[in-house]
Structure 1
Amino acid sequence: MDISVVVPLLNEAESLPELTEWIARVMAQHSFSYEVLLIDDGSTDESWNVINQLNQGNPAIHGIKFRRNYGKSAALNTGFEAAQGNVIITMDADLQDSPDEIPELYRRITVEKFDLVSGWKAKRYDPLSKTIPTKLFNAATRKMSGINNLHDFNCGLKAYRKAVVKNIEVYGEMHRYIPVLAKWAGFSKIDEQIVEHRARKYGSTKFGMSRFVNGFLDLLSIFFVGKFGKRPMHFFGSLGVLSFLTGIIMAIWIIVEKQVDIANHQKYRDATDHPLFYIGLVAILLGAQLFLSGFIAELVSRSAVDRNKYQIEETI
């Protein structure tokens, strides 16, 4: 199979018929063998009924329905697990992404041999309350990840080589940083493509202001897991050793200062009267705790086998 199109959705019943018809038309024009995976992330409207009807009219359209809402990352990860195509295309269900971009994205993966090609909506139809924070997040992500050739990490329209989606795990709110996950997994041939951004035709956005806080926290999480996930002792141990040595130096300073006072026959205070005594003591204890945390983290690192398991109600 040439292409799998993975579409996460939440309450997008109105747009699905037009979207799937558009995708089918593009696939037929270019003689692609394909499947469309519609991942219903706990919709409360008629989305699942629409998906069933679309499946009856086109066997290339499949659906997976979550029992409740888990989020876009969960929907994408489940779609990645089910995808069979050699190239996987992701797009949003709200018709703001154009299926006409699919042939060029496919060509860049199969001919130019990129691992991942991310869309860049150079001209957007979003309000400033969304575009300004997005620019800040993209700048921070470029700085922390070292992927300097992407302008928009969070664009829903992306193309992947099959091996990429089968070797990354998307959870939490990390769908915003899939290129970073791909890079940490060893897929470094990443590029972008300017794509059309269309104004929303039906409904309203499903993302609130909390996505910015969650996105920032997940960026820190990705940075930590990517850099220290396989060696947490390097992180906690380094902090622990630094804190422990700082406390020891403070303790030595107090002892030396006390001995100098004695040698000079000067009056000296008890060690416990010196503020550095307590600061040094805390630093030593904190260092020991961080060091032990590193050992524990080494034992439990990424061992939660059910972290990415979701309750699927129905599959067609």
Structure 2
Amino acid sequence: MDISVVVPLYDEIESLPELTSWISGVMDNNRFTYEIILVDDGSSDGSWEMIRKLHKNNPFIKGIKFRRNYGKSAALNVGFEAAEGEVVITMDADLQDSPDEIPELYRRITEEKYDLISGWKAKRHDPLSKTIPTKIYNAATRRMSGIHNLHDFNCGLKAYRKAVVKNIEVYGEMHRYIPVIAKWAGFVKIGEQIVEHRPRKYGKTKFGISRFINGLLDLMSIFFVGKFGKRPMHFFGTMGTLSFLAGTVMVCWIIWDKLYAIAHGIKVTRDVTAQPLFYLALVAIILGSQLFLTGFVAELVSRSAPERNKYQVEEVI
């Protein structure tokens, strides 16, 4: 099979007939073998009944239904597991992504040998309340991930080589950072393609202000797990050692200052414990010890994990 199109959806009954018809038309015109996987993320508007109807009319349309709403990341992860195509395309169900982009995305994956192509909606039809925070997050993600050639990490329209989706796990709200997850997994040939961003035709957006807070937390989480997931002691141990050393230096300074005053007959106007530096040193030493012990415990947990020696193997001869 050439292409699997994975479409996560939540209450998008109006757009499904038009979207699937459009995708099927593009596939037939380009003579692609394909499947359309519609993942219903707990819709309550009759979307699943519509998917059943579409499947009866077109056997290339497949459906997966969640019992409740789990989120876009869960829908994508399940869709990735079910996908059988050599190239996997993801797009949103609201008709803001154009299926006409599929042939070029497929060509770049198969001919230019990219692992992942991410869409870039250079001209957006969104309010400033959405576009400005998006630009900030994209800039922060570029800096933290080292993927400097992507402008829009969260674009729903992406193309993947099959090996990518079968070797990554998307959870929480990590769908915003799939290129970062792919890079940490060893898929480093990541490209970008300018795509059309169409105005929403039906319904309204399902994302609120919480997406920006969650996006920041997920970015911090994925950066830490990707960099220190298999060696947590390198992070906690380093921070703990630095804090402990800083506290020790402050304690040595306090002791030296006290001894110097005694040796030279200088009258000390206040006790050691009356100095703010004493409490800063005490906090630094305690915090350093706790961080070091946290790293030690995390290292034990990591070494006991069943996937402690699971690594990405590209080829064996």
**Offset from partner CA, 1:92-120 (integer Å, 9 cap, x none):** 00111111111110000000000000111
The residue that corresponds to 2:300 in the other structure is 299
SS in 1 for 2:38: strand
Cα deviations across residues 113-150 of structure 1 (Å, max 9, x unaligned)?
Answer: 00000111111111111111111111111111111111
Q: Give a deviation string over 1:128-175, Cα, whole Å, max 9, x none.
A: 111111111111111111111111111100000011111111111111
CA distance in 2, matches of 1:20, 1:84: 18
**Counterpart-to-counterpart distance in 2, 1:137 and 1:112:** 29
**Could you list the runs of 4 or more consecutive aligned residues of structure 1 that deviate by over 4 angstroms after TM superposition?**
301-305
2 CA distance for matches of 1:304 and 1:237? 20
Change (3 A) 1:241 1:78: same
Q: Secondary structure at the match of 2:17?
A: helix
For 2:292, the aligned partner's letter is F
Code of the residue aligned with 2:124 in structure 1: it is R
For structure 2, the 5+ residue unaligned runs are 307-317
The percentage of counterpart residues that share the same residue type is: 76
- Paired residues in the alignment total 305
Distance 1:14 1:60 in 2: 20
What TM-score does the superposition give when structure 1 sets the normalisation length? 0.93
For residues 267 and 302 of structure 2, what CA distance do their matches in structure 1 show?
Answer: 53
| Counterpart residue number, 1:137 | 137
Q: Does 1:279 align with 2:280?
A: yes
Distance 1:285 1:218 in 2: 29
Amino acid at match of 1:289: Q
Counterpart residue number, 1:8: 8
State which drifts further: 48-57 or 258-267: 258-267
Shift of residue 301, structure 1, vs aligned partner: 4.3
Which whole-Å CA distance do the structure 2 matches of 1:246 and 1:203 have between them?
57
For the residues of structure 2 that align with 1:203 and 1:119, how far apart are their CA atoms?
23
Alpha-carbon deviations, 1:264-299, whole Å to 9, x = none? Answer: 123335432332222111111110000011112223
- The residue type equivalent to 1:158 in the other structure is K
Report matched runs for 1:170-181 at 5 Å.
170-181=170-181
Greater length-normalized contact order (CA 8 Å, ≥ 6 residues apart) = 1
| 1:251 partnered with 2:248 | no
- Relative to 1, partners in 2 of residues 1:71 and 1:301: Cα closer, same or farther, differing over 3 Å? farther
**Counterpart check, 1:21 vs 2:44:** no
Measure the CA separation in 2 of the matches of 1:142 and 1:302.
Answer: 31
Any idea what SS the aligned residue of 1:37 has?
Answer: strand
Mapping for residues 44-83 of structure 1, pairs under 5 Å: 44-83=44-83
Kept in 2, the 8 Å contact 1:229–1:302? The answer is no
Matched, 1:148 2:142: no
Say what the alpha-carbon RMSD is for the aligned residues: 1.5
CA distance in 1, matches of 2:123, 2:276: 58
Give SS of 2:238's match.
helix
Which structure 1 residue ranges, 5 or more long, are not aligned?
Answer: 306-316
What amino acid is the match of 1:281? L
Residue deviations 1:229-248 (CA, integer Å, cap 9, x gap): 12111111111001100111
| 1:291 alignment partner AA | F
Report the CA distance shift for 1:114/1:302 in structure 2 as closer, same or farther (over 3 A).
Answer: farther
Q: If the length of structure 2 is used for normalisation, what is the TM-score? A: 0.93
- In the aligned structure 2, how far is the partner of 1:304 from the partner of 1:133? 37
Distance 1:92 1:122, change over 3 A: same
Matches within 5 A, 1:50-199: 50-199=50-199
SS at match of 2:207: coil
Q: Are 2:282 and 1:290 aligned? A: no
